[in-house]
């Protein structure tokens, strides 16, 4: 076999091997990406659940402190606590729905969930600061 033909054969075989690797690589990458996304989703769910649990406990603590307030302040704070509790329940329902979604829908809904938890946390902080002022 001439050197030129030999190099051409090596290039051809190398090209075929490269094509095979490329054809199989996306499936492997896809599986790996799915595994990482699933791990990330599980970690995310644990973090959101922990935050919702923490906020639930903090709201309960505010409700306990409400009793020590004067009548007018107590009525106002009770109303705000009720609204905060409803917001917490709505966010928890949204989280439960998110957990049931498939991977693609989950990716799209995650920013909305983050925003809902952030808003709930801000609402809690505003109300808690009112308790501290009184």
Percent of the chain scored above 90 by pLDDT? Answer: 31
CA dist., res. 117 & res. 75, Å (int):
26
| Predicted local confidence at residue 130, as pLDDT | 77
- The more confident residue out of 3 and 103 is 103
Residue 52's contacts (CB-CB under 8 Å, 6 or more residues apart) are: 88, 91, 92, 95, 117
Other C-beta atoms closer than 10 Å to the C-beta of 102 total 7
Percent of the chain scored above 70 by pLDDT? Answer: 66
| Predicted local confidence at residue 21, as pLDDT | 38
Nearest to 33 by CA among 109, 132, 89, 103: 103
CA dist., res. 127 & res. 83, Å (int):
11
Query: Of 98-102, 109-113, 130-134, which range is least confident?
Result: 130-134
**Domain boundaries defined on the chain:** 36-133
């Amino acid at each position: 076999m001439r050197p030129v033909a030999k190099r051409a054969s090596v290039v051809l075989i190398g090209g075929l091997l490269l094509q095979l690797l490329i054809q199989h690589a996306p499936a492997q990458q896809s599986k790996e990406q799915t595994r990482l996304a699933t791990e990330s989703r599980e970690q995310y769910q644990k973090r959101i659940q922990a935050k919702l649990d923490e906020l639930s406990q903090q709201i309960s603590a505010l409700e306990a402190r409400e009793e020590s307030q004067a009548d007018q302040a107590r009525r106002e704070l009770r109303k705000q606590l009720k609204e905060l509790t409803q917001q917490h329940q709505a966010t928890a329902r949204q989280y439960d729905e998110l957990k049931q979604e498939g991977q693609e829908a989950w990716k799209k809904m995650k920013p909305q969930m983050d925003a809902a938890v952030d808003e709930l946390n801000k609402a809690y902080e505003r109300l808690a600061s009112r308790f501290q002022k009184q």
